[in-house]
């Protein structure tokens, strides 16, 4: 009997010893693991994901370029949204970028739509302006750093930043017709999120690139060399035109207007390349209304004459409403409208427009041009509503 009791007692003692050994082993392993985590916190305490906001084509008619549209958020895990996540989790060394602050960049910007942007949109605009030369490669990564962390920390931060990005890129391409080779639909706003696993705090890095596309050029260009050659052609034509300047603002505006009317052909087929930009207008001498309007602004910018691009609807000679682009120009501290496209009508049988037709929409006040031109400061459905200058009621 005593031997049985002794055996039972020994059994429980052995079980207790084994249990204590296991418990001590777990405590020791936990301490070792914690030390390892502490030593490698730069890598193991954070997780990262990369997200993209992209532009899609718009539903505007063919006389207005289709590249600018409201960005939608894309998420591979949710097909109802449009947020793209990277397939790999990048290491810290791969994603840390030098801090940038475009708010203090010494960038000379005195553009009409830029002035209407909020501070965040202006930061993005400044980044494009600062990196204009670099972006001629079509693949340059425009780093925006952590400038938007306060926005992205909010519940709807991505959507809010997407709207700011939309406004910035609209203002930039309409203020700067010389960047005709850039395609906003191929320029992705990337948001990298880094989460500290101990504190659960998040930090954000943002940048713009071409995503998985070869570049962010319009379809007519595929390399930096092509872009630089195109710019040289445009600038060569520009230099010949502005060499004729007289120093009298009215005469110089008229000279630029007449050059476009006399030398550019309207592409009724809406099928040729570069018809929406200044390369089509000045190098190929073929474009649609947006090409005319951008070329007029580009040349007037070079002459130091303030102007802006105007987008909206217009009622043509057949009474039909169509998407259209024209200009407002400042002369003697007063704004007037110019539509160089409609001053250059397609003449059946060839020939040139008579003077009454050629200047029908040249330096017109609101009482005249607003009869059939209806400006809209809202370039996209959910985009920012930009304002235009108040025109003189009377013609010049």
Give a three-class secondary structure readout of the chain. CHHHHHHHHHHHHHHHHHHHHHHHHHHHHHHHHHHHHHHCHHHHCEEEEEEEEECCCCCCCCCCCCCCCCCEEEECCEEEEEEEECCCCCCHHHHCCCCCCHHHCCCCCCCCCHHHCCHHHHHHHHHHHHCCCHHHHCCCCEEEECCCHHHHCCCCHHHHHHHHHHHHHHHHHHHCHHHCCECHHHCEEEEEEEEECCCCCEEEEEEEECCCCCCCECCCCCCHHHHHHHHHHHHHHHHHHHCCCCCCHHHHHHHHHHHHHHHCEECCCCCCCCCCCHHHHHCCCEECHHHHHHHHHHHHHHCCCCEEEEEEEEECCCCCEEEEEEEEEEECCEEEEECCCCCCCCCCCCCCCCHHHHCCCCCECHHHHCCCEEECCECCCCCCECCCCCECCCCC
Question: The pTM is what?
Answer: 0.78
12 in any annotated domain: no
Same domain, 239 and 356: yes
Q: Give pLDDT, residue 369.
A: 97
Same domain, 282 and 311: yes
User: pLDDT at residue 256 above 90?
Assistant: yes
Same domain, 58 and 199: yes
Same domain, 264 and 117: no
Q: Which of 177, 209, 241 is the last residue of a domain?
A: 209
More confidently predicted of 133 and 30: 133
Two tokens, residue 142 = 């425009």
Same domain, 368 and 230: yes
386 in any annotated domain: no
Q: Give pLDDT, residue 22.
A: 61
Same domain, 191 and 52: yes
Same domain, 203 and 229: no
Name the residue range of residue 229's domain.
224-375
pLDDT in tens, 195-234: 888 888 899 999 999 999 999 999 999 999 999 999 999 9
381 in any annotated domain: no
CATH number at residue 250: 3.10.620.30
Q: In the predicted model, what is the mean pLDDT of residues 12-23? A: 64
Q: Calculate helix-pair angle for 119-130, 157-175, nearest 10 degrees.
A: 50
Same domain, 58 and 198: yes
Q: Give pLDDT, residue 382.
A: 81
Separation of alpha carbons 276 and 93, rounded Å: 42
Q: Give pLDDT, residue 17.
A: 66
Separation of alpha carbons 281 and 290, rounded Å: 9
Q: Which of 209, 243, 271 is the last residue of a domain?
A: 209
Q: Give pLDDT, residue 73.
A: 34
Please report the sign of the dihedral spanned by the C-alpha atoms of residue 114, residue 148, residue 82, residue 216.
positive
38 in any annotated domain: no
Q: Which of 160, 179, 209 is the last residue of a domain?
A: 209
Q: Give pLDDT, residue 148.
A: 95
pLDDT in tens, 137-196: 999 999 999 999 999 999 999 999 999 999 999 999 999 999 999 999 999 999 999 988
181 in any annotated domain: yes
Same domain, 235 and 111: no
User: pLDDT at residue 239 above 90?
Assistant: yes
Same domain, 265 and 364: yes
Same domain, 299 and 327: yes
Same domain, 317 and 203: no
Structural domain count of the chain: 2
6 in any annotated domain: no
User: pLDDT at residue 14 above 90?
Assistant: no
389 in any annotated domain: no
Separation of alpha carbons 1 and 275, rounded Å: 107
Query: What band does 392 get if pLDDT is binned at 50, 70 and 90?
Result: very high
């Amino acid at each position: 009997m005593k031997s049985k009791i002794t055996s039972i007692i020994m059994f429980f003692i052995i079980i207790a010893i084994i249990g204590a050994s296991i418990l001590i082993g777990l405590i020791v392993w936990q301490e070792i693991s914690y030390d390892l985590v502490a030593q490698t916190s730069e890598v193991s305490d954070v997780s990262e994901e990369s997200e993209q906001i992209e532009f899609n084509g718009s539903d505007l008619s063919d006389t207005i370029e289709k590249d600018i549209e409201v960005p939608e958020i894309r998420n591979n895990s949710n097909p109802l949204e449009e947020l793209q996540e990277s397939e790999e989790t990048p290491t810290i060394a791969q994603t840390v970028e030098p801090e940038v602050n475009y708010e203090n960049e010494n960038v000379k910007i005195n553009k009409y739509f830029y002035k209407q942007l909020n501070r965040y949109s202006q930061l993005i605009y400044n980044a494009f302006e600062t990196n204009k030369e670099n972006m001629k490669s079509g693949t340059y990564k425009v780093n925006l750093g952590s400038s938007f962390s306060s926005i992205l920390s909010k519940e709807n931060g991505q959507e809010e930043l997407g709207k700011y990005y939309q406004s910035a890129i609209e203002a930039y391409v309409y203020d700067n017709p010389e960047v005709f080779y850039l395609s906003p639909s191929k320029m992705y706003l990337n948001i990298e999120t880094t989460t500290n696993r101990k504190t659960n705090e998040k930090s954000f890095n943002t940048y713009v690139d071409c995503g998985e596309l070869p570049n962010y050029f319009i379809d007519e260009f595929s390399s930096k060399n092509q872009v630089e050659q195109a710019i040289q052609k445009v600038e060569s034509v520009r230099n010949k035109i502005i060499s004729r300047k007289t120093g009298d603002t009215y005469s110089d505006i008229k000279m630029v207007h007449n050059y476009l009317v006399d030398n550019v052909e309207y592409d009724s087929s809406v099928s040729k390349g570069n018809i929406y930009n200044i390369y089509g207008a000045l190098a190929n001498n073929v474009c649609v209304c947006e090409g005319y309007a951008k070329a007029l602004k580009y040349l007037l910018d070079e002459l130091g004459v303030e102007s802006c691009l105007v987008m909206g609807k217009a009622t043509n000679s057949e009474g039909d409403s169509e998407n259209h682009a024209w200009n407002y120009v400042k002369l003697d501290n007063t704004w007037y409208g110019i539509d160089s496209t409609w001053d250059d009508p397609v003449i059946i049988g060839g020939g040139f427009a008579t003077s009454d037709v050629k200047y029908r929409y040249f330096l017109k006040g609101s009482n005249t041009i607003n009869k059939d031109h209806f400006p809209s400061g809202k370039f996209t459905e959910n985009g920012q509503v930009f304002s235009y200058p108040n025109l003189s009621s009377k013609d010049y």
